[in-house]
Structure formats: C-alpha cells, structure tokens
C-alpha cells in the first residue's frame, strides 16, 4: 500500500454473536466451562481491573472467546474460583494482549495459560510501530475498536451495557489478530524468537517485594533530607494501610504530590497541614488527624538513609567521569545492539534489555570472548535467541574498546 492509498477501516460496534449475559453463579459457570472446553483452537482471554479505584490489581471481569463456543463474560466476584475453567482449557493456546499486565490477576482466580501467544509482544517483534490493541487491530485487520472504557471502574455493579460491549469486543478479534501476526512472524523468520519470549512471559516469577516501597513515591527526588524522607515513609505507610482497609486506590486518599509537599513543609499542626497543597481533597481532609499523627511520628523516628545500597550500575550519565573506560564500552555496545535491532526491525529493548547491556559494560568478564559474554547475558535473563544474535557482536565491541585503550 502506497502512502497515497487510504485503507478502509470498518468500525467494530457490536459482538458478532450478540452481547452474552454475565456469568455470575456456579451453575452458569459450569455451563460456560463445558462450552469453552468443547470449542476448538486458541482461546482469547482478557481481564478488566479497577486500577486507580480499588486497592490492588484483582480482576473484576474476565472475558474469553473460542471458536465453537463464542464469547463468555465472567464475573470473578460472583465466581472467584475459575480453576475448573483453567483445567478445561489446559490443552489450548491462550491469546492475550500485553499478557504481563493480566497474568497475575488471572492467576489469582485460578487461570494460568499452558501456552501463550501475546499479540502485543508479537507485534513488537514483527516490527509494528504501534502495538496498542486498537491501533494494531486497525492496521492489521482493518477494524476499529472503541476504547473509551479502558480506564473505567470495573468494580462497579451492575456493569453498564456499553462497558460490557467494549469488554466483549476486546476478545472478538484477538484470535484473528493472532493468526495474522503468527503469519508475519513466520515469514520474517522470527516465530521461534516470539515463542521463546511468550514462554518467558508466561513463566516469569512474580517480582520480589521491594524493601522500601515508599521510595517509589512520585516526586520523591525533591525530598533531600533524611527527616523529609521519614515523613514520606510514615505518610505512605499510613495511607497504604488505610487504603487496604477501605479497598480504595491509595492515590484517591492522598496524592503522592501532597505527601512530598508535606515532607518539604514539615507542618506540626492540623491547621498548617491542611494548608499544604494537595490536602484539600475529601480524603486528605477527612483523615487529616491520621496524616498529622504520621508526620509527628516521623519527626521522632529513626530517619531512613537518603538512598539504599544497590548492586546496579550507577546512572550511565555519570560514567564518563566515574569510569571513562566503562563509558566507552557502553557507547560501543549500544551502537552494536542498535545496528542488530535495525537490521531485524526490532525495538532495541526487545532485542536485549538496556539494563543487561549496562551491567555487562560496567562489570565485563575478564575473558571477553563470545562464550564468556554469552554467559553474562544469560545470567541477566537474556533468552537463547537474544544471546545468539548479540553475544558475538558485543564480544567484538568490547574487545575493540579494550585493544584501543
């Protein structure tokens, strides 16, 4: 298709089989399990959460579609254990878009894919510039999806019909998209790479708990004193406990920006606290005494260190001053990886994680041969296909830098 040609895009406005009723009780669930088990081919799977509204990332709606069974919309509040459904689909390939966003909440209700095709990740590897579900369906299938309810509060009951229609359409053409991307990847010689990536996503362990989760507070870089950090820590901990108790997103009680402002202003009275920017919302004012207690507790507590010790390399921008040789290695290796990515029409970050490249360059192996470099890449989680593509050129780049030093 030339730049002057216009592709006709067809709006996808309603599920082809009509909008199915929501499955809300064990009897309906058993019927749905039987229908999906009798279907054929891959099964499209999606989940809707209430991010920004509720505490945590639980699923509030699960959508599935399979050839011969149609679409199912399941309420995991009424049906909290979907392990029987998972068992019934244990022979199928599951198709998800951006699977890493949904696998955890699906596992919480007993759904774990035995095999996976991730259409977002597949599209990245196939070289598509836009990999959101809507733009991708439009580019690949010539259909437009209505995406207006993606940020809705899916804990709402009953769920409005337009939301359910949107949810059903999210799995309506997911298998068709999978087939098209599968063909593209096979034609480009990337299918084996994609399957390895899908397995890595499916088998990825849950991230370990962060030692100081409060340090992820947005804007924390503005707080430079240990006393201020103690204030943020106590406000964050108080907010988190309250949010968990009320099952509400923490930011709806008190925004991150307000905690940072309070840490900087260091108020000691309720009146002064409520005058701090960000403390004028309903949640912030309602729990004002709790926030003040947290601040006063912080002022008399042991202050946390300004930063935690880390095994990670320092920020790359500091390398030219701290270790010019490491900076030269990083520049050479980044150039080498970018060239491979460009050759194969891959995003650089999907070819090899930038953190892996930084770690290799900051602490390279004593032996810069291909085998030693490959071992370092594997130790940091690189998959076989990534190691095969990058280890030879990274080894050569590191040796060039060393020989010219």
Q: Does 258 lie in the same domain as 322?
A: no
Q: Does 77 lie in the same domain as 16?
A: yes
For residue 149, the Cα-to-chain-centroid distance in whole angstroms is 19
Q: Does 344 lie in the same domain as 291?
A: no
Q: Kindly state whether residue 148 falls inside one of the protein's structural domains.
A: yes
Q: What is the pLDDT of residue 7?
A: 73
Q: Does 142 lie in the same domain as 20?
A: yes
CATH of the domain at 27: 3.30.420.10
The β-bridge partners of 337 are none
Q: Does 132 lie in the same domain as 37?
A: yes
Q: Kindly state whether residue 20 falls inside one of the protein's structural domains.
A: yes
Q: Kindly state whether residue 308 falls inside one of the protein's structural domains.
A: no
Q: What is the pLDDT of residue 3?
A: 43
Q: In the predicted model, what is the mean pLDDT of residues 72-84? A: 98
Q: Kindly state whether residue 3 falls inside one of the protein's structural domains.
A: no
Q: In the predicted model, what is the mean pLDDT of residues 149-155? A: 90
**If pLDDT is split at 50, 70 and 90, which confidence band does 148 have?**
confident
Mean pLDDT of the residues in the chain: 95
- For residues 239 and 220, the answer to whether their CB atoms sit within 8 Å is no
Structural domain tally of the chain? 3
Tens digit of pLDDT for each residue in 322-362? 999 999 999 999 999 999 999 999 999 999 999 999 999 99
d(Cα 246, Cα 242) in Å, to the nearest integer?
A: 6
Q: What is the pLDDT of residue 125?
A: 98
> Domain boundary at 157, 172, 203, which?
203
Tens digit of pLDDT for each residue in 208-223? 888 899 999 999 999 9
Q: Kindly state whether residue 162 falls inside one of the protein's structural domains.
A: yes
Q: In the predicted model, what is the mean pLDDT of residues 359-375? A: 97
CATH of the domain at 294: 1.10.150.80
Measured N-to-C along each axis, helices 191-203 and 119-126 cross at an angle, to the nearest 10 degrees, of 140
Residue whose structure tokens are 């490249």: 357
Q: Does 217 lie in the same domain as 112?
A: no
| CA-based radius of gyration for the chain | 25
Q: Does 48 lie in the same domain as 191?
A: yes
| pLDDT surpasses 70 at 2 | no
Q: Kindly state whether residue 306 falls inside one of the protein's structural domains.
A: no
Q: Kindly state whether residue 234 falls inside one of the protein's structural domains.
A: yes
> Domain boundary at 181, 203, 225, which?
203
Q: What is the pLDDT of residue 310?
A: 84
Tens digit of pLDDT for each residue in 241-255? 999 999 999 999 999
Q: Does 139 lie in the same domain as 77?
A: yes
- For residues 126 and 134, the answer to whether their CB atoms sit within 8 Å is no
- For residues 175 and 67, the answer to whether their CB atoms sit within 8 Å is yes
| pLDDT surpasses 50 at 9 | yes
Q: Taking the C-alpha atoms of 254, 159, 202 and 120 in order, what is their torsion angle to the nearest 10 degrees?
A: -90
Q: What is the pLDDT of residue 218?
A: 97
Question: Which candidate, 103, 101, 121, 107, places its Cα nearest to that of 178?
Answer: 121
Q: Are strands 70-74 and 61-67 parallel, antiparallel or unpaired?
A: antiparallel
| pLDDT surpasses 90 at 58 | yes
Q: Does 342 lie in the same domain as 224?
A: no
Q: Does 173 lie in the same domain as 25?
A: yes
> Domain boundary at 249, 272, 299, which?
299
Q: Does 22 lie in the same domain as 150?
A: yes
**Domain range spanning residue 335?**
316-404
Q: Kindly state whether residue 273 falls inside one of the protein's structural domains.
A: yes
Tens digit of pLDDT for each residue in 109-122? 999 999 999 999 99
Q: Does 107 lie in the same domain as 31?
A: yes
């Amino acid at each position: 298709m030339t730049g002057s040609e216009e592709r006709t895009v067809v709006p996808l406005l309603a599920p082809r089989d009509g909008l199915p009723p929501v499955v809300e009780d064990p009897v309906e669930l058993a019927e749905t399990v039987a229908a999906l088990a009798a279907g054929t081919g891959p099964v499209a799977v999606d989940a809707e959460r209430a991010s920004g509204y509720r505490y945590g990332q639980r699923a509030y709606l699960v959508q599935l579609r399979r050839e011969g069974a149609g679409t199912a919309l399941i309420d995991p509040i009424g049906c909290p254990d979907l392990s029987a459904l998972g068992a019934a689909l244990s022979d199928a390939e599951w198709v998800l878009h951006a699977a890493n966003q949904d696998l955890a909440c699906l596992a919480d209700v007993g759904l774990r894919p035995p095999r996976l095709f991730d259409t977002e990740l597949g599209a990245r590897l196939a070289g598509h510039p836009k990999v959101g579900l809507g733009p991708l369906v439009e580019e690949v299938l010539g259909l437009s999806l209505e995406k207006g309810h993606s940020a809705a509060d899916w804990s709402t009951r009953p769920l409005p019909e337009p939301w359910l229609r949107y949810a059903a359409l999210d799995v309506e053409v997911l298998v068709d998209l999978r087939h098209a991307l599968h063909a593209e990847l096979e034609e480009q010689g990337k299918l084996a790479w994609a399957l390895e990536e899908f397995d890595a996503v499916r088998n990825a362990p849950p991230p370990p708990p962060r030692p100081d989760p409060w340090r992820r507070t947005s804007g924390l870089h503005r707080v430079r004193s240990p006393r201020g950090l103690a204030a943020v820590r106590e406000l964050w901990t108080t907010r988190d406990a309250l949010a968990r108790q009320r099952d509400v997103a923490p930011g709806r009680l008190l925004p991150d920006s307000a905690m940072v402002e309070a840490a900087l202003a260091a108020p000691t009275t309720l009146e002064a606290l409520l005058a701090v920017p960000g403390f004028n919302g309903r949640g912030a004012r309602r729990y004002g005494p709790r926030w003040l207690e947290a601040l006063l507790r912080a002022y008399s507590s042991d202050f946390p260190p300004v930063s935690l010790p880390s095994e990670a390399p320092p920020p790359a921008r500091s390398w030219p001053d701290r270790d010019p040789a490491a900076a030269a290695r990083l520049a050479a290796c980044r150039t080498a990886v970018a060239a491979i990515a460009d050759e194969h029409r891959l995003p650089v970050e999907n070819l090899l994680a930038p953190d892996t490249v930084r770690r290799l360059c900051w602490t390279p192996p004593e032996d810069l041969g291909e085998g030693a470099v490959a071992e370092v890449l594997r130790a940091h989680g690189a998959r076989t296909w990534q190691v095969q593509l990058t280890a030879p050129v990274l080894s050569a780049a590191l040796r060039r830098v060393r020989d010219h030093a």
